[in-house]
Amino acid sequence: MRILKFGGTSMSDAQTWQQVVNIIKRYESPFVVVSATSRTTRKLIEAARTALDDIDESYSIASEINHRHKKIIQDFFDGSPNDASVLDNCNNRIDELSDGLETQLKTINSEQELTAQKKDAIASVGEQLSSYLFAQCASTVGLSTRWVDAGDIIRTDSDFGKANPNEDYIANQSASLKKIIDNGQVPIMGGYYGIDDHGHTTTLGFEGSDYSASLIGAALNAEAIEIWTDVSGIFTCDPRFVPDAKPISQLSFQEATELAYFGAKVLHPSTTKPASQKQIPVWVKNIFDPDKSGTRISSESTRVGPVKAITYKENCTIVTVTSSQTVMGYEFLAGVFDILRWHHLAVDVVTTTEASVSIGIENGANLDEVIEQLKGYGSVDVLDQQGIISLVGCSNDRSLVTNILTQVNNVPQNLISYSRAKGNLNLVVDKDQVLPVVRDIHQKLFE
């Protein structure tokens, strides 16, 4: 049994839905996890933010989402046997969720507040729509499907926006999921969202549907987890910006996690954790070229060149805190990182001494507040408009770091960190230098 996860591009229109159906039919006893249709989550967040100032415009965005999903349904049935009852079910579901969305937008406008809890409730509507509608449509073209509400399976804490799943609870639901599969049905579940212990909708973070698929795979002890997207695996760099990027056939769980954490958009950073705990391989494959092998992620790692891949993050800030002489080093560092922990801010790169620490942080809404609090531990220097370039899977060749730094010695590096044990080299440069430096390094290493 395999877990098949289909992303937003796979769910973008009726034509890709049919392609997804054809892929599912290749498998015996699959479990399917789907993302929202392409651009829907972004539009939902846009509607929520717009509701604060312009309720009519937010309603217009919600209406556009409604109409787009109805068009997908209608287009799907135009080329298939038309089951009027299924079409009615789909349109009724779209209207039901649209009415709920408008109610939430109205509440945001009247209360003049968009909390993380409200944002999650709205952001999850995309997966609630796509999973139900796809399950209904697929049932008319030869698949015996069963819609599964992720809220019944994925239990989380209340850390809205990046909730932490309760893996024991999810494992306890595996019997009900296996029963569906044993009955010859294909479960279709929306990824990305879950429910906390108080019944509030939560989300797992950007690309959280990948994480959902991995959680289900671990609970069901799946043979493999397949992430279906619009590229044939993971590449040595983002092929949209580095046209000569090469596909990678094999990555370790750690290498894939590092790539995702440092900006690669193919996977959610936590995707590999449940899979690695159960030693379940993860495949990244292309719905438009399903016979391509893609990238296999497992506990194994192969060495082909000096570096596995390059990725990057833009819109980062370097914060340097220098302690006063009255604060002991360990107290100073503990205090700085306690503030970051309190604000749930992840540190991308860090260099430190006993008296100072420089931290690379991806820009966030509460960064100004963090900086003010850090001033309680000493002087604070802020360098914004930065980008982080990460080389993942570096070999133990002692000359590698020297060669890379020599390659980009005409560009000032504002922070450098290297871990030989993890095989990572991170360079922080001005934001406008990120892509030119990435291309230069990629050309040297891979071309």
Same domain, 73 and 153: yes
Same domain, 77 and 202: yes
pTM of the entire predicted model: 0.90
Residue ranges making up the domain that contains 347: 309-446
> Could you tell me if residue 27 is inside a domain?
yes
Does residue 402 have a pLDDT over 90?
no
Same domain, 236 and 268: yes
- Can you give the CATH number for the domain in which 370 is found? 3.30.2130.10
Running DSSP on this structure, what letter comes out for residue 38? T
Same domain, 200 and 274: yes
Same domain, 165 and 237: yes
Same domain, 129 and 176: yes
Mean of pLDDT values over 228-256: 91
**pLDDT of res. 391:** 93
Does residue 348 have a pLDDT over 70?
yes
Mean of pLDDT values over 152-163: 95
Q: What is the pLDDT of residues 405-415, one digit of tens each?
A: 888 888 888 89
Q: Among 298, 323, 344, give the residue marking a domain's end.
A: 298
Same domain, 36 and 169: yes
Mean of pLDDT values over 418-445: 90
State the pLDDT confidence band at 329, using cuts at 50, 70 and 90.
low
Q: What is the pLDDT of residues 6-37, one digit of tens each?
A: 999 999 999 999 999 999 999 999 999 999 99
Q: Among 298, 329, 351, give the residue marking a domain's end.
A: 298
- Can you give the CATH number for the domain in which 248 is found? 3.40.1160.10
**pLDDT of res. 327:** 56
What are 227's two structure tokens? 């992430």
Q: What is the pLDDT of residues 51-85, one digit of tens each?
A: 999 999 999 999 999 999 999 999 998 855 567 88
Same domain, 171 and 287: yes
Q: How many domains does the chain have?
A: 2
Task: Provide the mean pLDDT of the chain.
Answer: 91
Q: What is the pLDDT of residues 274-314, one digit of tens each?
A: 999 999 999 999 999 999 989 999 998 777 788 999 999 88
Rounded Cα distance, 98 and 185, in Å: 28
Same domain, 182 and 274: yes
> Could you tell me if residue 303 is inside a domain?
no
Q: Please tell me the least confidently modeled range out of 210-219, 223-232, 307-316, 362-371.
A: 362-371
